Chains A and B, each alone.
Chain A
Amino acid sequence: MNQTVPSGQAPFVVADAVAPRRRFFGHALLAAATLVLLVVALLQTLDASGVLAIGFPNWRPLLYAYLLWAVALGAWQVIVRGYVGQRALFVLPAALFTLAVAIFPTLFGFYIASLDWNLSSVEGPHFNGFRNFVAMFHDPYYWNALLNMVFYLLAVIVEYAIAFGLALLLNSEIRARKFFRVAFLLPFMLSPVAVSWMVGKSLMEYRFGPAARLARDLGWDTPAFFANPWTARIAIEAMDAWVSIPFIMILLLAGLQAMPKEVTEAAKVDGANAWQAFWRVTFPMMLPVSVTAVLIRIIFKLKLADIVINVTSGGPGGATDTVSSFIYRVYRDRSNVGYGTALAMFYLVLIVIFLTVLLRVTRRWTRSVND
């Protein structure tokens, strides 16, 4: 039976007394389920690798064994640990689900990355060690895409600045503020694929696109937005920014609205002008929200692909290619599953390292602000 302590003290739970036979039964149940799981996994693996000819039609037996093991694990928790085990049941399904659909696929992904596996290969997949990763280091098209990502990431700073300006504008007392809040959010509601066609392939179309006509009126004789590497990069970035700036803006706006007005009013009373009030008061106080918004935006930016695939296919000459659009071609057009997965896994590791470092750096900033 659980016992709780009087109010005012930290709650704790006292474990039930469990009889040895019950404990033994629990352990035996889990051991049996684990054994079934391992045996089924072993048999399926041997069957799939051709060592044994059992003839499993698919991998479902292993899935069923895993589900059985998951149930046994839950039962074991309750049988062996009593009430404490019951509490674990609240978390266990989610943990096992995460294990099945996130952790295992990630680890399996690293396994796939070690295969020489082209779907069109008559011989099928075979172990390739680290050769996919070695090939990746000699693949100029992948590194070109990574280099392009640096540009796209740096552009997040500009997006942030514009979004901050818009958030300040919408936070101030302007006419039709509610209308503008909705209107500014509209691009964020659009699918990037729709934007690719509406903006990239229609508005910016060289011959009849309104943007091209305007550019001609402004004196640009040949407004081919995607024919030159830098104009193409900037055009792609502009489209992506147009879709995503409202997202940053809305986060910043929420932060601005949550900010106590007394602080800015006090700054004004102390004689601070608008710039000083912003730079010395608003901006530092908004840093935690800003860091969150920028980090989320960076994560989205690292996945940029759809606009590039639809508008330029990575061109001209790879100038707008992103890692995701490059992997898309390797995987979809070339059915190169092993190499494509290796590229994706390496990119995942890079992202994790990059974001970890970024979080540590920004934590210092936010901490100093909060302090």
Chain B
Amino acid sequence: MKLNVYNQIMAAQASRRGLLKGAAGLGAIAALNGAGLGAFTRPSFAAGELDTELRKQILAIPGVGKGQPTDADYRKVGALCLDGTKEMVKEGELKGVELTFMGLNNQNTHNFLFRGFLHPWEEYTGAKINWIDLAQADYNARLQQAISTGTIDWDVLEMGAPFEGDVCGRGLTSEVPDWVQKAIDLDDYVNYLKAPVGTWDGKLYRVSIDGDTHNFNYRTDYFSDPDLAKAWKDAGNKSEWGVPKTWQEVQAVTKFLKGKKIAGQDAYGYLDAPKPWGGFGFYFLGSRATAYAKHPDDKAWLFDVDTMKPRINNPAWVRAIQDVIDALPSEPPNQINADPNETGFAEFLGGTGSMVVWWGDVGAAAKTSDSSVVGDSCGFSILPGSDDVYNSKTAKWDKLPGGPNYAPNLAYLGWGIYVMKKVDGDEKKKKAAWSAAAHLGGKNIALWMSAYPSGFQCYRNSQHNIDEWVAAGYDKAFITSYLDSQFNSYNHPNGAIEPRIPGIFQYYSLAEDILANIFAGKMGAQEGADQIAAAWEKLTDQLGRDSQIKLYKAALGM
């Protein structure tokens, strides 16, 4: 959770009335989550398995509403969660070991927390940690250059799953030992973070500390507005006015809202993010495409697994691109120059538009950010589905017997802790590195990190215990709706998994440049998609097609 989000949650506690104002809308959200969009995937866990007293104790540090946690708080939490370490390591056993840990220093989170959590671990084990702090913008370049030039100067690495192809795929990481696997309780992970994520050739290399997925954020006031409902009927629509459940409905609503007003303001429907964003913008087209392109019978959705032939120019992706082209004229006039950051935070949270797709950050900020004006009128669900889904094997559109096809875009897959293979030659160092990783990836620390500003979101089923969140001071209706949209995506049986192949952001970045030209009207959807496919083929050849095929299969667990 981000620092500003946390601070604003604190502020929100002072205004329960404000929270309750949104309760009616949230009731509708709960109904939507429960009835239509994947309640079957809601996680279950046995609270009795957890150390409830310890969890209650750490959640009280510093306590919701008692200000921003400090390094002293991180240390307290780290010390209280040290039992796992004590089971495997004797006091002072790792004295003399020095580890180098490379991670981010975004917004005083990530490494800042790790330092505090690991301080009592260092005191207990006797090991010492040296830190390499990186800004997120420098991360990829630092990582790639070190790998490319053979100058890896860290032992423990905080890394996002999309980079696993570059690192694990090259055999640079150490396999997670059995004792660590038991200590971190892998079964508690949400489904999509279980193997094959974190694994290569069947071996596990990652200790998860975060989860990521795109969910669907919408305005409840739009979809309960009687004037818009009447206008919708007057326009000849046979369906009821309500929250779109498929992309076909999203398109229809977006076009319908053009020129309409709500509360005296211009009404808009879905907000696309056409402006390139360092490769990350491609995830947003991906979220439009997964319901069309991710068939339940096929793990792959971006490339053919046997040939790495891109699917970006198949009818499913072209339909998604065409959807953007068709929707843009109905979106705000400057939408062509809106990147995901502007779309999610400046526009949607600022009151422009009624539907947007984002990671959990937008939902988390909706009620708590100073710049958000939609806190009482924001609902969440998994991504919309599609009435039909493209079957790449038969080259036909299928209508599924169970109704629309839903396929959450499990974009980025969250951060994890990895240990480099170079420590394998030194058993003591290896034990120290994995002990540190297990400490950070522990179940109880996970709860604290998702409840307080950390930069990390939920990734364990045990984090879905609403009572714990409410006891810590969160509003029940809000947190239930929000967490459901996350967990129903994480645990969805047809989730679209990040390809995790080397250079994946190069594919995304190349696509962004061409998509920008398509959206600017320089070429059609099919022509542009063919260009992306050609560029991707060229890149695959440059990176090594056989190697990419092998790694793509490994990434999909095939």
Contacts and interface: CB of A to CB of B under 8 A. Distances in A.
A226 B505 contact: no
A124 B149 CA distance: 9
A222 B337 CA distance: 14
A316 B337 contact: yes
Given A116-B542, A333-B279, A224 B506 contact: no
B517 A329 contact: no
Nearest to B278: A333
A116 B541 CA distance: 11
B80 to A, nearest CB: 41
B336 A227 contact: yes
Contacts of A227: 333-337
Contact of B509 (A118, A318, A334): A334
A206 B266 CA distance: 13
A226 B543 contact: no
Contacts of B513: 141, 314, 318, 329
Interface stretch (B51-59, B232-240, B380-388, B519-527): B519-527
A173 interface: no
B166 A120 contact: yes
Nearest to B145: A119
A319 B520 CA distance: 9
Given A122-B544, A224-B337, A316 B276 contact: no
B352 interface: yes
A310 B268 CA distance: 26
A226 B337 CA distance: 6
Interface in B513-541: 513, 516-517, 519-522, 539
B275 interface: yes
A121 B350 CA distance: 42
A113 to B, nearest CB: 15
Contacts of B166: 120
A336 B506 CA distance: 9
A303 interface: no
Contact of B337 (A58, A116, A122, A312): A312
A207 B349 CA distance: 13
A123 B503 CA distance: 13
A316 B334 CA distance: 10
A229 interface: yes
A315 interface: yes
Contact of A207 (B151, B352, B522): B352
Contacts of A205: 346
A63 to B, nearest CB: 16
B389 interface: no
A315 B170 contact: no
B370 interface: no
A313 interface: yes
B144 A119 contact: yes
Given A141-B513, A318-B513, A224 B333 contact: yes
A123 B541 CA distance: 11
A317 B516 CA distance: 5
B512 to A, nearest CB: 8
B71 interface: no
In this complex, the interface size class of chain A, counting residues with CB under 8 Å from chain B, is 20 to 34
A333 B509 contact: yes
B148 interface: yes
A119 B148 contact: yes
A121 B506 contact: no
Contact of B543 (A58, A122, A229, A333): A122
Interface string A114-143: 001011111110000000000000000100
Nearest to A128: B542
Contacts of B502: 120-122
Contacts of A121: 502-503, 542-544
A312 B333 CA distance: 15
Contacts of A112: none
Nearest to A331: B141
A207 B277 CA distance: 21
B152 interface: no
A317 B506 CA distance: 19
B133 interface: no
Please indicate which of the listed interface residues B141, B516, B522 has the most CB atoms of chain A within 10 Å of its own CB.
Answer: B516
B94 interface: no
Contacts of A122: 169-170, 502, 543-544, 547
B148 A206 contact: no
Given A207-B352, A334-B506, A315 B336 contact: yes
Max chain B Cβ within 10 angstroms of own Cβ: one of A318, A332, A333, A334: A333
B510 interface: yes
Given A141-B513, A318-B517, A336-B506, A118 B141 contact: no
Interface string B329-361: 000111111010000001100101000000000
Contact of A313 (B339, B517, B542): B339
A334 B147 CA distance: 15
Contacts of A336: 506, 542
A313 B522 CA distance: 17
A335 interface: yes
A298 interface: no
A319 B517 CA distance: 9
A232 interface: yes
Nearest to B502: A120
Contacts of B522: 317-318
B510 A334 contact: yes
Nearest to B328: A227
Contacts of A312: 275, 337
Contacts of A118: 503, 506, 539, 542-543
Interface string A306-324: 0000001111111100000
A222 to B, nearest CB: 4
A222 B329 CA distance: 12
B516 A315 contact: yes
A334 to B, nearest CB: 4
Contacts of B510: 334
Contact of B141 (A141, A224, A332): A332
Contacts of B274: 315
Nearest to A121: B543
Given A313-B276, A333-B278, A120 B509 contact: no
Interface string B153-186: 0000000000001100110000000000000000
Contacts of A329: 276, 509, 513
A205 B333 CA distance: 11
A307 B106 CA distance: 23
B148 to A, nearest CB: 5
A327 to B, nearest CB: 13
Contacts of B335: 227
A62 B236 CA distance: 78
Given A313-B276, A318-B517, A319-B520, A335 B334 contact: no
A316 B278 CA distance: 15
B144 A120 contact: yes
Nearest to B508: A333
B516 A120 contact: no
Given A123-B544, A207-B346, 18 more contacts: A118-B503, A122-B170, A141-B513, A207-B347, A226-B334, A226-B336, A226-B337, A227-B335, A227-B336, A313-B276, A313-B339, A317-B517, A318-B513, A318-B517, A329-B509, A334-B510, A335-B140, A335-B503
6 contacts: A118-B503, A118-B542, A207-B332, A224-B337, A318-B517, A329-B276
> Which 4 residue pairs of A and B lie closest in terms of their CB atoms, listed nearest first?
A317-B520, A120-B503, A224-B334, A333-B509
Interface of A: 58, 116, 118-124, 141, 205-207, 222, 224-227, 229, 232, 312-319, 329, 332-336
